[in-house]
Structure 1
Amino acid sequence: MTDVLFLRSDELADLGTAAEYVDWVREGYASHGNSGSAEPRTKLVSGDPPGMCTGYLAILPEVGGMGGYTYAAGFGDEDVHLALPLFDAESGRMVAMLDGASMNPFKTGAVGALGVDELAREDASTCAVIGSGTQARGQLRAAATVRDFETVRVYSPTEENREAFAETFDERLDADVSAADSSGDAIADADVVITATKASDPVFHDHELPDGAHVTAVGQYDRGKQEIPPETVARATYVPDLRERALQDAGAFLHALDGGLIDEDHVHAELGEVVAGHEPGRTSDDEITVFDSGGTGIETVAAAWYLYQRADEQGLGEPIEFTPGSQAWTDE
């Protein structure tokens, strides 16, 4: 039998700060850029009952871990449960099983912030956030650890939601955080724009985006999700988390491709190639940059590996037994 450490979500909740998650995810993308491997998610869709089952995989040799992330959504359930098996990248031994609920917004925010850190201007001080849900909150919380924002403007179609978001972060951050009446007002003169919505159509107009801005888009995980304008993709230095994912399900990129605004070579580099120093990020103050974050196993495995190590050091978790496959074979 093999002892595997089961870690509950509540045990993981306070094991890492937003800044630490960014550091962990940075190491994951550097590992991927140098010697790792990852695939875009596999998504299986059911029509009756409606729902999807999806999963991600990554091997990160320089971090030390490998594994994946799987969950189902829909199918009559009113929620989602995030299961994360973690393996040692050298021995192949399964070392942990994590309940990924509490880490999910942190690791997703961290990769968005990493995109900001690699592609936004160093002197970026004004941030616009479009969206006010859990993902938007995680994105801003993490982005504020890599740039010293002085002004943050948030827009969400529901006034009550954007006002509540602004009030929360005005108390939490050193920046002046306020609600905007429109997405155009939010992104006016913005150095960094974060879009974290479920929108099927662009949430701002391309002509409203200032020269020199960086956009981190986290809601473009399906062909039907076109959170940013295809014209913005076309004029930007475009960096996705994975090149293959951009061609599979990055909505605005595919819309720009279908419309003849770009070709497949428009992908400047994967994020890991930029983080590892193999490709440049921003090269001028006036260029538009876009980081398209649709979710990969890279940030998931990287964050999980460091959480597992920290939990193990603190004696957290409960050992559970897994039967090795070799013991399942008999001559009977």
Structure 2
Amino acid sequence: MNQSLHTTVFINDENVGRLANWADVIAALTHAYAQDVTATMVPPRTMARGDGFWLRSLCAVSPSKEYMGCKLIAASPKNKKASYLISLFDQDTMRLAALIDGNRITDIRTAASSAVAVNALAADAKFKIAILGSSSVARGHLHALYATGRIESVRVYSPTPENREKFAHDFSELYGIDIEAVSSPEEAVQDSDVVVCASRSRDGGPVFKAEWLKPGMTIVSVSSTLPEQRELDVETMQRATLIVADMPEEVLHETGDALAVKAAGDDIENKIVSLGDVISKKIIARQNPDDILIYKSVGSALQDIVTAEMLLRNARTASLFQDMTESIVTIDR
């Protein structure tokens, strides 16, 4: 058995923050979703559960033909702790090319993928945005959507007044955009074209109600990814013309939003389509301007690996990485 040694690049959390250019990530993900990505290239995520903690793995083969990899998430909701690690392997040599701190990548790829979806789904060239939430996820979404160049105005709601006011102030200072902090989610959504739901309610119930819908609206839902989580009410899911999902099977069978619709006796399976089919133009999502479209995201390994390999390319160009003194052995077999 022959074996060889090689170095592996490590990119720490600080350098991920330096290297993450929103336009680059959106372009990389748009290109990836336009390729022929088979189900075997992005298998379902797996989760090992302990008592109050879990380990989740998300694996994917990139359509770039450069890398394949896995994101591991170790989380303890009980202790309020989590760690994220992404590994990248060379598709030709099978060598471990990089280990990357995945802490920021989750928020980056989630927001950038939403921007990819909104670019494809939003009816108008310029749109008014409602942001429900003020967390790092909500902030990432506004950064990513600003990078599309299509924002007309923004309203943000968060249940904590200080948080929403700071959110509005920070983005007004940073980008000079028309942004207003408002005192209710209804006020934020009123007259909006694109609504970003990036916050779970304190009681676990929906944060968006069907009575706020208007023709032509695009809704982004990213914060209800498990059976016990809700973000959209049943009628909103029912009234949507189409539901575009990054992982259709997981959205249908593993999110509280879809499970609540099933419990109500409705079947929405025939109107859930993949983001890849929309971006590759196999499916035209918006058939007319009045269609109500939902982008529902649970997070995909494809997003993680495509983002990570883009960061690796940028890190090598900018020399923002560390060479590990040792790596794993690659063998001939």
TM-score w.r.t. structure 2 length? 0.91
What aligned pairs does 1:261-280 form with structure 2 within 5 A after superposition? 261-267=266-272, 269-280=273-284
Cα RMSD for the two superposed structures:
2.1
CA shift for structure 1 position 36:
7.1
Aligned equivalent of 2:82: 80
Q: Which segment drifts farther, 68-77 or 10-19? A: 68-77
CA shift for structure 1 position 185:
0.9
CA shift for structure 1 position 35:
8.4
- Secondary structure of the residue aligned to 1:80 is strand
The answer on 1:300 being equivalent to 2:308 is no
Aligned equivalent of 1:282: 286
Q: Are residues 76 and 265 of structure 1, via their aligned partners in 2, closer, same or farther at CA, if it must alter by over 3 Å?
A: closer
Give distance in 2, aligned partners of 1:315 and 1:15: 10
Amino acid at match of 1:29: Y
CA shift for structure 1 position 76:
6.3
Number of corresponding residues = 325
What aligned pairs does 1:161-310 form with structure 2 within 5 A after superposition? 161-199=163-201, 200-236=204-240, 237-267=242-272, 269-310=273-314
CA shift for structure 1 position 228:
1.0
Q: Are residues 279 and 89 of structure 1, via their aligned partners in 2, closer, same or farther at CA, if it must alter by over 3 Å?
A: farther
CA shift for structure 1 position 172:
2.2
Instruction: Give the counterpart of 2:321 among 317, 323, 329.
Output: 317
Instruction: Give the counterpart of 2:69 among 67, 70, 74.
Output: 67
Amino acid at match of 1:243: P
Give distance in 2, aligned partners of 1:230 and 1:169: 32
Q: Are residues 65 and 285 of structure 1, via their aligned partners in 2, closer, same or farther at CA, if it must alter by over 3 Å?
A: same
CA shift for structure 1 position 147:
4.5
Q: Structure 2 regions of 5+ residues with no counterpart?
A: none
The answer on 1:154 being equivalent to 2:159 is no
CA shift for structure 1 position 137:
0.4
What aligned pairs does 1:81-96 form with structure 2 within 5 A after superposition? 81-96=83-98
- Secondary structure of the residue aligned to 1:82 is strand
Amino acid at match of 1:319: D
Q: Are residues 76 and 125 of structure 1, via their aligned partners in 2, closer, same or farther at CA, if it must alter by over 3 Å?
A: closer
Give distance in 1, aligned partners of 2:315 and 2:284: 36
Q: Structure 1 regions of 5+ residues with no counterpart?
A: none
Give distance in 2, aligned partners of 1:51 and 1:18: 32
Give distance in 1, aligned partners of 2:151 and 2:65: 30
- Secondary structure of the residue aligned to 1:12 is helix
Give distance in 1, aligned partners of 2:66 and 2:278: 21
Aligned equivalent of 1:24: 28
CA shift for structure 1 position 279:
1.5
Give distance in 2, aligned partners of 1:291 and 1:121: 14
Amino acid at match of 2:98: A
List per-residue Cα deviations over 1:201-249 (Å, max 9, x = no partner): 1112201111111011101201121101121112211011011211332
List per-residue Cα deviations over 1:187-210 (Å, max 9, x = no partner): 111100000112321112201111
Aligned equivalent of 1:132: 134
Amino acid at match of 1:183: P
CA shift for structure 1 position 178:
0.8
Give distance in 2, aligned partners of 1:281 and 1:101: 32
Aligned equivalent of 1:14: 18
CA shift for structure 1 position 33:
4.0
What percent identity do the matched residue pairs reach?
A: 28
Give distance in 1, aligned partners of 2:322 and 2:208: 47
CA contact (8 A) 1:58 1:66 kept: yes
Q: Are residues 147 and 252 of structure 1, via their aligned partners in 2, closer, same or farther at CA, if it must alter by over 3 Å?
A: farther
Give distance in 2, aligned partners of 1:31 and 1:91: 23
Give distance in 2, aligned partners of 1:196 and 1:263: 22
The answer on 1:41 being equivalent to 2:49 is no
Q: Are residues 89 and 251 of structure 1, via their aligned partners in 2, closer, same or farther at CA, if it must alter by over 3 Å?
A: farther
Q: Which segment drifts farther, 229-238 or 130-139? A: 229-238
Q: Are residues 75 and 187 of structure 1, via their aligned partners in 2, closer, same or farther at CA, if it must alter by over 3 Å?
A: closer
Give distance in 2, aligned partners of 1:187 and 1:315: 43
